[in-house]
Amino acid sequence: MKKNISTFKKIIVCLVAMAMLFAFVSCSGDFFANGNTSSSRPETSESTSVDTSSNGLPSDVNFNISYVEADEIKPTSTTEVVARVRPSVLELYCIVGQSKSSGSGVIVSFDDTDDDGNDDKALILTCHHVIENASQMTAKSIYGKEYEAELIGADPVSDIAILWITATEDNGFEGLTAAQMMCDSDKLLIGADVLAIGNPLGYLGGTVTKGIVSALNRDVTVENRKMTLIQTDAAINGGNSGGGLFDAETGALIGIVNAGYKSSAAQGLSFAIPCGTVKPIMTQLLEKGYVEGNYDFGVTFTAEKFFNTAWSTTTYVVIESVDIYGTFYKGGMEEGDVILSVKIGDKSIDVSKYESDTLAKLETFLVDGSYNIGDKVTVVYMRYKKSTRGYEQCTAEFEIAQYRYGIITD
């Protein structure tokens, strides 16, 4: 009996030892696989300058965008969904000034403009902030093919932009697919499984992450713009913007990824523009190149200290940058102007005495949302004059203007 107990104990010890060894090997494998941090971003091929003079879509192109009702889609497996929709998501690489940026885009339609039986144009949906101020844009498929991307229209208010790419005899669209857009966003359900597909970090194109719909109609401020978005816990990183948020069961495109919350205190907070919001915006961009009634002040501010004497300084609000298509630029405002007060319609704000929350108050004032095109804007500011080597107080009066990105008007 004692011998049997001893033998039994030995067997138990051996099993425990084997389990510990197996666990160690498994953990070691994960550690080394995840610990490889070496990476390099591929160089993209040169593209010719993007034509930003077009106003809407040329008449010889007829993109037939596929919109699908939620009730019409038949569920399939996740792997089948990924195989079908992953080729519709492209990597986008932009040259902005002397730097490069990256993002994602989703093909939503093809067209055969020369009726030869082969599609030669593809319509791409992305975010305005992905392509903003880009002089060159390159789209890259999961198969490694690259295409010059051209602007059709963009709208900073909704953060939507549409581009197109052209196939050639040597560089076609083989293997690419067009996503179907589910625009009845009211039928989305909280808790539904979703897939985010994009180009995180600018060199991991085609990455698929999975999550759920965490919330609907979430009011969020993105880059000082108030938006109503889909919230998801699918992993989103820099470079995912402009990519697709798909229903995991059906493969329908339900949103365009445009924001991820970055904080050490929170995780799993990502957002997408619902396709129900995208559809009317895209329709106007295709028809006109802009969205009727939308405006953008197109200005960012910073705080700078100015010396009064050798021993004292005063802090002022200064224009850091202006968008050449925005209202402030059209009103004659320039980088470096010192802002004292702004009045829009019957509302005004005095920023001449700087406090810790002055910048935040000014940004809130500008995104009020109650302003309309044609409202009068009065800015009291100081501008540096080279002739006198000092600042001169000025007043600028102008009106809120229709925003037409990429379209220069007098």
Q: Known catalytic residues?
A: 129, 159, 241
Beta bridge partners of 103: 92
Residue type, 194: V
Q: Is the dihedral of CA 251, 255, 259, 265 positive or negative?
A: negative
What is the rounded distance in angstroms from the CA atom of residue 247 to the CA atom of residue 72?
Answer: 13
Degrees (nearest 5) of the Cα angle 328, 331, 337? 60
Q: How many CB atoms sit inside 10 A of residue 182's CB?
A: 25
Q: Which residue blocks in 166-325 are alpha helix, DSSP H?
A: 275-287
Please choose, from the candidates 309, 392, 406, the residue with its C-alpha nearest in 3D space to the C-alpha of residue 55: 406
What is the rounded distance in angstroms from the CA atom of residue 209 to the CA atom of residue 189?
Answer: 19
- Given a contact cutoff of 8 angstroms between Cβ atoms, the answer to whether 107 and 66 are in contact is no
- Given a contact cutoff of 8 angstroms between Cβ atoms, the answer to whether 311 and 377 are in contact is no
Beta bridge partners of 147: 139
Bridging pattern class, strands 299-307 and 313-322: antiparallel
Reading phi first (left if > 0) and then psi (alpha if -120 to 50, else beta), residue 345 is in left
Residue type, 287: E
Residue 24 burial class via C-beta count within 10 angstroms: exposed 0-12, middle 13-18, buried 19 and up: exposed
What is the rounded distance in angstroms from the CA atom of residue 303 to the CA atom of residue 317?
Answer: 5
Q: How many CB atoms sit inside 10 A of residue 85's CB?
A: 25
- Given a contact cutoff of 8 angstroms between Cβ atoms, the answer to whether 307 and 173 are in contact is no
Taking CA atoms, 81 is separated from 73, 176, 185, 249, 320, in Å, by 12, 14, 20, 7, 45
What is the rounded distance in angstroms from the CA atom of residue 324 to the CA atom of residue 313?
Answer: 32
